[in-house]
């Protein structure tokens, strides 16, 4: 089996790549601004810049790889993801209450980011080999169990945001392939029961506080609701053109916690204004549009489902993060893809863009 495609500039979707790297550039600018007020060494910015270079390399390698290789090794990658998620519970480092990082020489890595790749490729592999018999219970419950294993290990960390995203990837793909409606109805019932169980036995107090604060924002504006309140203030303070990079009072004076990760969109809104926030959303729109074009031109089920999974991943993280920054959704710790600080997330996201590029129709 041939490993690499013959390299040709014409084989890339340059519109997709341009939107992606402009988003990465916006993220670097916002992280530099936040880091400038907190560290003269610009540690976070330098780490993110290094992750960008590694991610660009990963994107290039993935885009030059024959897409059939991703299909061939999907099961192996999924098994490795389960092993890593189990190992991090034993050997991992706890950061902000979540035991989900491997740390070495000052650098940390989240295996849940690889798990997102693993579940997307596995679902594509299963759909490809199932012969379009998506109405069979084995398909629905088999893929559901494979996804549930990852969600269970992620919840043990606990990382509610990532667990929700993994669940949304599976649920979105089930809707796209057209499983029987009664399965979806049953899933909603099971989900409601699971939510009650999670609330009673699994969620940590701070996670419950986030949900309650979303429902009743006035209950603790200076406590559990502080982050959400400051994020909304930051977005509103930017007005149309913003206060300028490095001049946002909420982010620069540390009123906005986790400004470089969970609330990077609020930083952009404050410092670049409505114009900058709108530009970031337009770039995300262009990126999602080009991914949908790849799906429409796909010539087999593995390609269409895999790129659909990538699209759902980016879209769900975008909606959850921006919604939380605007006070429309609870804060779950989901970062803004390609923009927020986080080396492992950025590298994996750029790798997934490379996977999508490997599946551009001209490469068949």
pLDDT tens digits, 241-277: 878 776 666 766 666 777 788 889 989 988 898 999 9
Cβ neighbours of 25 (radius 10 Å):
14
| Token pair listed for 150 | 């990852």
Q: CA end-to-end span of the chain, whole Å?
A: 14
| Spatial contact of 310 and 62, defined as CB atoms under 8 Å apart | no
Rounded Cα gap, residues 341 and 355, in angstroms:
22
pLDDT, position 173: 94
pLDDT, position 195: 79
Which pLDDT band, with edges at 50, 70 and 90, does 48 fall under?
very high
Average pLDDT over the chain, rounded to whole? Answer: 86
Mean predicted confidence (pLDDT) in 3-23: 80
Which pLDDT band, with edges at 50, 70 and 90, does 219 fall under?
low
pLDDT, position 364: 46
Note the residue count of the chain: 364
| Spatial contact of 323 and 337, defined as CB atoms under 8 Å apart | no
pLDDT, position 303: 95
pLDDT, position 221: 55
pLDDT tens, residue by residue, 222-244: 555 667 777 777 777 778 887 87
| Spatial contact of 150 and 82, defined as CB atoms under 8 Å apart | yes
Cβ neighbours of 10 (radius 10 Å):
7
pLDDT tens, residue by residue, 297-340: 998 899 999 999 999 999 999 999 999 888 888 888 899 999 99
Which pLDDT band, with edges at 50, 70 and 90, does 180 fall under?
confident
pLDDT tens, residue by residue, 86-145: 999 998 888 777 888 888 777 788 999 999 999 999 999 999 987 677 778 888 889 999
Mean predicted confidence (pLDDT) in 50-63: 95
Listed ranges 210-214, 249-253, 258-262, 280-284; the one with the highest mean pLDDT: 280-284
Burial grade of 192 (CB within 10 A; 0-12, 13-18, 19 or more): exposed
């Amino acid at each position: 089996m041939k490993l690499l495609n013959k390299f040709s500039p014409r084989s890339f979707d340059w519109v997709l790549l341009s939107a992606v790297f402009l988003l990465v550039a916006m993220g670097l600018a916002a992280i530099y601004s936040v880091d400038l007020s907190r560290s003269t060494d610009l540690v976070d910015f330098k780490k993110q810049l290094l992750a960008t270079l590694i991610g660009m390399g990963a994107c290039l390698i993935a885009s030059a790889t024959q897409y059939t290789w991703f299909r061939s090794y999907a099961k192996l990658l999924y098994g490795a993801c389960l092993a890593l998620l189990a190992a991090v519970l034993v050997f991992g480092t706890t950061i902000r209450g979540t035991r989900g990082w491997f740390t070495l020489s000052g650098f940390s890595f989240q295996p849940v980011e690889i798990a997102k790749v693993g579940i997307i490729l596995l679902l594509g592999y299963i759909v490809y080999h199932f012969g379009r018999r998506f109405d069979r219970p084995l398909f629905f419950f088999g893929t559901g169990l494979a996804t549930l294993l990852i969600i269970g290990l992620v919840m043990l960390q606990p990382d509610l945001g990532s667990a929700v995203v993994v669940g949304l990837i599976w649920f979105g793909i089930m809707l796209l392939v057209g499983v029987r409606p009664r399965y979806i109805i049953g899933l909603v019932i099971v989900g409601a029961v699971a939510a009650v169980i999670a609330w009673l036995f699994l969620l940590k107090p701070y996670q419950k506080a986030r949900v309650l604060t979303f429902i009743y924002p006035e209950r603790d504006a200076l406590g559990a609701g502080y982050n959400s309140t400051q994020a909304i203030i930051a977005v509103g303070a930017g007005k149309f053109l913003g206060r300028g990079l490095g001049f946002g009072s909420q982010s620069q004076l540390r009123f906005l916690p986790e400004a470089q990760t969970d609330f990077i969109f609020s930083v952009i809104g404050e410092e670049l204004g409505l114009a900058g926030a709108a530009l970031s959303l337009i770039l995300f729109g262009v990126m999602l549009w080009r991914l949908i074009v790849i799906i429409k031109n796909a010539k087999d089920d593995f390609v269409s489902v895999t790129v659909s999974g990538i699209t759902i991943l980016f879209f769900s993280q975008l909606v959850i993060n921006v919604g939380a920054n605007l006070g429309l959704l609870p804060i779950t710790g989901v970062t803004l893809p390609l923009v927020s600080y986080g080396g492992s997330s950025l590298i994996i996201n750029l790798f997934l863009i490379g996977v999508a590029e490997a599946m551009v129709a001209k490469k068949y």
